[in-house]
Structure 1
Amino acid sequence: MIEIKGFVETSFLDWPGKICSVLFLPGCNFRCPYCHNHPLVFHPEQFASIPLKDILQRLHSFKGWMDGVCLTGGEPTLHVDLPLLIRQIKEKGFPVKLDTNGSNPEMLDDLINKKEVDFIAMDVKAPLDIFSYRRSIGLSIELGLISKSIEILKRGKVEYQFRMTVVPQLHSEYEIETLGEQLKAGPKLILQNFNPENPMDPSLKKMNPYDPKFLKELERRVQNMV
């Protein structure tokens, strides 16, 4: 069974328009230099595992006002028993949101077709070219997997959004607009500023994020690309 390494009982940020609990799952197949959850990726053993039965008991006490449960990481789809975890949560009456990097389109497609997830947030790391993606995730990946996941979500069988965490040193204005043109996702593409406090690459601590007003204007522009 999946080890759960973190449990936030109440979040107003992780599911748009909803109050949710958040479960953190260990491990990731990407090495994004700006990742702020890297201890969970590299050293999950440093975090105590939280028994699922304890979490389910807490969730039961939230019935009536909690809108759902968000599964994040790390990368949740690395775990072959993720569908079982989702079913156990849904059996308690809670909708499930899944955060993913889109590297496992087969699992996403299966979860959607079986109606086991209610919302998917996919982090798209860069424009869809090999160089940009490798620079943003710290290794090489078959871009066809990412493109397939995008295609699956755009079929519209489940609520979804695409998120891009932007780092000025990695993502130029042109590259962000290029991704907007590639996705043509309208308001479903969200731009997020990176957090320089605890990135995997320590050199990024010295870097300034984009100006929030500029980023909001850039988000407006890419959301108009449909």
Structure 2
Amino acid sequence: MRIGSIIDVSLVDVPGIPVSVIFTSGCNFNCPYCQNADLISHDSGSEVSILEIISRVSGHFVDGYCITGGEPTLQNELPDLLASLRESTDGHINLNTQGSVPNILEKCLPYLDSVWFDIKTSPESYKSISRTKQNPWDKVVKSLKMILQSSVELWPRTTYTGILMEPKDVVRIAEELQKLDFSGKYTVQNYIASTGVRAEEKIHLREPQKSEITEILDLIPPTITINLEWR
């Protein structure tokens, strides 16, 4: 499978758990604010066997693994990698995904403890953020439902980017999550102009303003009972 890089020890990717992080290569989205833009190309990274990956992440003082990208579920070998990781540890295994490949995600669920699920925007605006030919929202919802029907923890999150998004988009996402009977924490994180964002995209983006954050909190109706956390 194609791997971009591996971080031996991370204290920030899974809350409260030190993990090794495996970055897969290639993504079928082309989000302008992507902080790992060098991994969007399907030709990025290099071919690495599952045995070599297991060897490279073994022996570190961690309590689990996080697989991110790119979009990991584009890798057909991902379920096999997760199965091998599960054989090597009883620790926490986390997957980052945007949910556009539900058939692969379904095969991964037996080996996972949690999923950071990147919900890009409101259903109506998905094509403009993901820059895909077809709106992937139906596949996203299918993936969300599969996780909610499993024993895997769902950790939905959205990166709020000024100009690209409006406060009403976050409210719409919260409404959609509630329709699916999600009752956990929904994290909205600020867009940050990190070094991983493409320079040609960065000039058209901005971090959210305080007024936008206030407006989102004011717009959330009392019927929305999920826990929205701004980070």
State the partner residue of 1:7: 6
State the partner residue of 2:118: 123
Tell me whether 30-39 or 86-95 shows the greater mean CA deviation: 86-95
Letter matched to residue 64 of structure 2: G
Q: Distance in 2 between matches of 1:223 and 1:188?
A: 16
**1:135 counterpart (111, 128, 134):** 128
Question: Residue 168 of structure 2 contacts residue 219 of structure 2 at CA under 8 Å; is this kept in 1?
Answer: no
Q: Distance in 2 between matches of 1:201 and 1:146?
A: 29
| Shift in alpha-carbon separation, 1:51–1:192, aligned structure 2, 3 A | same
1:171-210, aligned counterparts within 5 Å?
171-184=165-178, 185-197=182-194, 198-200=196-198, 202-205=200-203, 207-210=205-208
Letter matched to residue 86 of structure 1: L
Q: Distance in 2 between matches of 1:219 and 1:78?
A: 35
State the partner residue of 2:229: none
State the partner residue of 2:108: 111
| Shift in alpha-carbon separation, 1:155–1:51, aligned structure 2, 3 A | closer
Q: Does 1:146 align with 2:143?
A: no
Q: CA deviation at 1:179?
A: 1.2
Letter matched to residue 95 of structure 2: L
Q: CA deviation at 1:17?
A: 2.0
Q: CA deviation at 1:124?
A: 0.6
* Greater fraction of residues in strand: 2
Q: CA deviation at 1:154?
A: 2.4
| Shift in alpha-carbon separation, 1:158–1:77, aligned structure 2, 3 A | same
Q: CA deviation at 1:153?
A: 2.1
Q: Distance in 1 between matches of 2:150 and 2:219?
A: 23
Letter matched to residue 123 of structure 1: D
Q: CA deviation at 1:161?
A: 0.6
Q: CA deviation at 1:19?
A: 0.9
Q: Distance in 1 between matches of 2:57 and 2:27?
A: 26
Q: Distance in 2 between matches of 1:15 and 1:216?
A: 27
Q: How many residues align?
A: 218
Q: CA deviation at 1:200?
A: 3.8
Q: Deviations over 1:25-68 (max 9, x none)?
A: 000011111112111112744x4566654543454322xx4111
State the partner residue of 1:79: 75
1:27-106, aligned counterparts within 5 Å?
27-42=26-41, 44-45=43-44, 47=45, 52-53=50-51, 55-62=53-60, 65-93=61-89, 94-106=91-103
Q: Deviations over 1:87-132 (max 9, x none)?
A: 12122114321111101122222322xx211111111111122xx0
Letter matched to residue 19 of structure 1: P
Letter matched to residue 185 of structure 2: K
* Greater fraction of residues in helix: 1
Question: Residue 20 of structure 1 contacts residue 67 of structure 1 at CA under 8 Å; is this kept in 2?
Answer: yes
Letter matched to residue 130 of structure 2: I
Q: Percent identity?
A: 27
Q: Structure 2: 5+ residue runs without aligned partners?
A: 226-231
Question: Residue 189 of structure 1 contacts residue 223 of structure 1 at CA under 8 Å; is this kept in 2?
Answer: no
Letter matched to residue 101 of structure 2: N
Q: TM-score, normalised by structure 1?
A: 0.83
Q: Distance in 1 between matches of 2:173 and 2:74?
A: 25
Q: CA deviation at 1:212?
A: 6.7
Q: Distance in 2 between matches of 1:179 and 1:103?
A: 16
Q: Distance in 2 between matches of 1:28 and 1:68?
A: 24
Question: Residue 122 of structure 2 contacts residue 170 of structure 2 at CA under 8 Å; is this kept in 1?
Answer: yes
